[in-house]
Amino acid sequence: MKNEFVLAFNEVLEEKGLPKETILEALAHALVSAYRKSMNVSSAQEVKAIIDLDKGEFGILAEKEVVEEVQNDLTEVTLEVARQFDPEANLGDLVMVDSTPEDFGRVAAQNARQVIQEKIRQAEYAAQIEYYEKQLGEIISGIVQATNSQGMTIGLELNAEGTMPRKEMIPFERFRIHDRVRALVAEIKETGRGPQIILSRTHRDFLRRLLENEVPEIFHGVVEIRSIAREPGHRAKVAVSTSQQGIDPVGACVGQRGVRIQAIVRELHDEKIDVIEWNPDPTAFIAKAISPARVNGVYLKESVDGSRNALVVVPEDQLSLAIGRDGQNARLAAKLTGWRIDIKSLPESISDWLFSLQNKPELKEMAEEEKEAIAQAEDIMARKVDGRVINPEEYDFLTKFNDRLEKYATRKHQAEFEKQQKLRDEVMETIPPAAFEMDLSGTGLQANILEALVEAGYDTAGKLVLTSKLNPDALLEVNGFGPKALERVAEFAEVLPELIPEPVEEEEPVAEQPVEEQPELEAEIPVEIQEETILEAGQPEEPEAQLEETVAAEAEKPTAEEGEEELSFDQMFTVKPEAFEPEEESEDEEESSEEGGTTDGKKKRKKKVKRFRELEYDPERDVVVAKKKHKRDGTPWNEWEEE
């Protein structure tokens, strides 16, 4: 029994790859469940399972009440039997007693099999989720187990299964069963049947991780991947940069004779990869992103709505190369740079400009300045239409002429952009910030118009009002939105600030202004304050009225005379020797003190303090102490004694 139990336990450990404690916990839970089910025990009764791997034995402990005569074996036990498990047990106590039924091994094996399997399965799922959540965004490898039209099932570590949908597979890529596949862990979902691990070979981070594995400079951070644009199975563009001088980021990625990049190309089913150097200047970056086509010029235009457009002019023989097959090169360049890119050939751009200079009144001034250049450009274009040869000098002239015109248009657009941006800022000041979180229900428009506005992207009241003031024509293009609706929006914009209450700003507490110190008082008061504080230490607290009188008396002391030399900081806080000498007592003061005369209270207290005490510095304790004279039974005043 021992050998069979231990062998079976070790086999489960090795097969499932789970911690020993997890299997023991699942087995104990299964034994308890089997005992409750076979013996029909109440859930209120405590039941525990004992497992001894060394002896290969297991048993059940059940909580039972100690009684004189047992009537129910499941819940009661005699005192004699109870003391075998708990020597201090008494009648009425609850004791854990061995309650393992006969032939429980067979019964437990039958009833607990499903419970053990379920617990082990849950532990496997938890271990898989914990492991693969750490692998999220990383490359893992697995064995293809099944393929169909929907995708592939891949066996992974820890007995897990990954799913690679067809959209996550590179087009025209085929795998067979038992093939080893590398893929990126794109997503993990928890389901009732265990974790669903989604793998991908088309994600752009798959290419990023491959570059990190193949290029040590990227792995160590010397070369940084700025952006990636990819059409899986066809072409990809990668922008890289470096912060260290003397390192060629493109050369580091390509490797000697293209060894590094070719390894990645083979992994991606012969996907072409263009590695370009990133540049902070958008003009230079876009020109490189269009590679391998040559570029004559790049001209940028930004709009208030956030759109960014770039016009790229290329030689006529580079137009098809710049656009690429089905516009692939232009699309990848746009994704890589984040700009919308329009590509024109040089003759096409010149033709458009010649037409605009002749027909647009706003370009009349420019046409006068470039009158001679326009005539020469028209002559060159006419000879080109006739099929005659154009020499390189004439191409250079057209390139420079087009560059001057495009830069003129860019400056004009930039001035208009700054004007619109200023207008937008002014309009934004009239719209409460909370309006950009407010829905359109309060505008009073019809339901069908509101739905059309939401579909067009105007989902908040702030966006609607802002567009109505800056670009009302854009709203008129929305289906069902007409002039009356525009008037209704204008009325709504006027009352919008009243509909949104202004946030109440909490008043900050006013900081108390520090009281200016008077230097004249500081020359006299600090010694007196120090003296009074030390004198009164150890005395019982005085009534509040006397304390107020004492403060008033100190405040009435005369200040330093005008013209008196101001004391330094150290002199202010230096106790004078006279403070340690006892004051001479006058007969009037003694009589007044003994007879309890009508002297003022505060004056009497002041005299009493200074008449009967003196201060002395104790070097051993490093403190100033107060000493007092005592007079007892008519004897003369004794020596000074410490209080």
Q: What is the pLDDT of residues 354-384, one digit of tens each?
A: 999 999 998 898 999 999 999 999 999 999 8
Nearest one of 60, 185, 166, 180 to 112, comparing CA atoms: 60
Check: CB of residue 289 under 8 Å from CB of residue 333: yes
The band of 502, judged by pLDDT with boundaries at 50, 70 and 90, is low
Spatial distance between the Cα atoms of 643 and 633, rounded to a whole number of angstroms: 19
Asked if residue 404 lies in contact with residue 352, where contact means CB atoms within 8 angstroms, the answer is no
204-214 vs 259-267: helix crossing angle, rounded to 10: 140
The answer to whether residues 367 and 358 touch, using CB atoms and an 8 Å cutoff, is yes
Reading the block at residue 623, the tokens are: 């403190």
In this model, does residue 567 exceed pLDDT 60?
A: no
28 vs 543, which has greater pLDDT?
Answer: 28
Q: Residue 62 burial (CB < 10 Å; 0-12/13-18/19+)?
A: buried
- Going by C-alpha positions, the residue among 137, 131, 211, 144 that lies closest to residue 177 is 144
Share of the chain above pLDDT 90, in %: 37
Rounded Cα gap, residues 424 and 106, in angstroms = 82
- Judged by average pLDDT, the poorest of 60-69, 414-423, 517-526 is 517-526
Greatest mean pLDDT among 418-427, 530-539, 543-552: 418-427
Rg (CA), the chain: 47
Tokens representing 35 are: 């005992």
Superfamily of domain 2-126: NusA, N-terminal domain (3.30.1480.10)
Half-sphere exposure of 324 (CA within 13 A, CB side): 18
- The two structure tokens encoding residue 198: 């989604």
Fold match between 135-200 and 431-499?
no
Mean local confidence (pLDDT), 483-511? 70
Residue 373 pLDDT: 93
Residue 141 Ramachandran class (φ > 0 left, ψ -120 to 50 alpha, else beta): beta
Q: Which helix (H) or strand (E) holds 67?
A: strand 57-67
pLDDT exceeds cutoff 90 at 406: yes
pLDDT for 602: 41
Between 562 and 13, name the one with better pLDDT: 13
The pTM score is 0.63
Q: Say yes or no to pLDDT of 249 above 50.
A: yes
Do 443 and 468 form a contact (C-beta atoms < 8 A)?
A: no
Asked whether the predicted pLDDT for residue 624 surpasses 70, the reply is no
Q: What pLDDT score does 613 carry?
A: 59
What pLDDT is attached to residue 190?
A: 85
485, pLDDT greater than 70:
yes
Hey, where are the domains in the chain?
2-126, 135-200, 431-499, 521-550+566-642
DSSP-assigned beta bridge partners for residue 272: 235
Q: Which two tokens stand for residue 244?
A: 């260290």
Find all residues with CB under 8 Å of 612, minimum gap 6, and list them: 628, 629
Tens-place pLDDT, residues 201-241:
999 999 999 999 999 999 999 999 999 999 999 999 999 99
CATH C-level class of 431-499? mainly alpha
| Pair type for strands 57-67 and 47-52 | antiparallel
User: What pLDDT band is residue 16 in, cutting at 50, 70 and 90?
Assistant: low
Q: Which residues does residue 600 pair with via DSSP β-bridges, in sequence order?
A: none
Q: How confident is the model at residue 638 (pLDDT cuts 50, 70, 90)?
A: very low
Using alpha carbons, select from 406, 401, 408, 469 the residue that is nearest to residue 435. 469
Mean pLDDT value of segment 120-125: 83
Indicate the pLDDT class of residue 410, thresholds 50, 70 and 90. very high
At 201 the pLDDT is: 96
pLDDT of residue 525: 37
- pLDDT per position as a tens digit, 68-105: 888 887 888 888 888 888 888 888 888 888 888 776 66
Amino acid letter at 588? D
CB-hemisphere CA count at 13 Å for 41?
26
Q: What is the mean pLDDT of the chain?
A: 78
- Specify the pLDDT at position 283: 95
pLDDT at 284 over 90: yes
What's the CA gap between 334 and 324, in Å, rounded?
13
Hey, how many other C-beta atoms are within 10 angstroms of the C-beta on 228? 21
Q: Residue 557's pLDDT is what?
A: 45
User: Residue 174: helix, strand or coil by DSSP?
Assistant: coil
- Range 17-32 average pLDDT: 78
Whole-Å CA distances, 278 to 20, 214, 228, 239, 289 = 53, 20, 11, 5, 9
State residue 224's pLDDT score. Answer: 95
Q: What is the CATH number of domain 135-200?
A: 2.40.50.140
Average pLDDT over residues 335-339: 94
Tell me what percent of the chain is helix, strand and coil, each rounded to the nearest 5: 50, 20, 30
- The pLDDT of residue 26: 78
pLDDT score recorded for residue 617:
65
What's the whole-number mean pLDDT along residues 171-197? 90
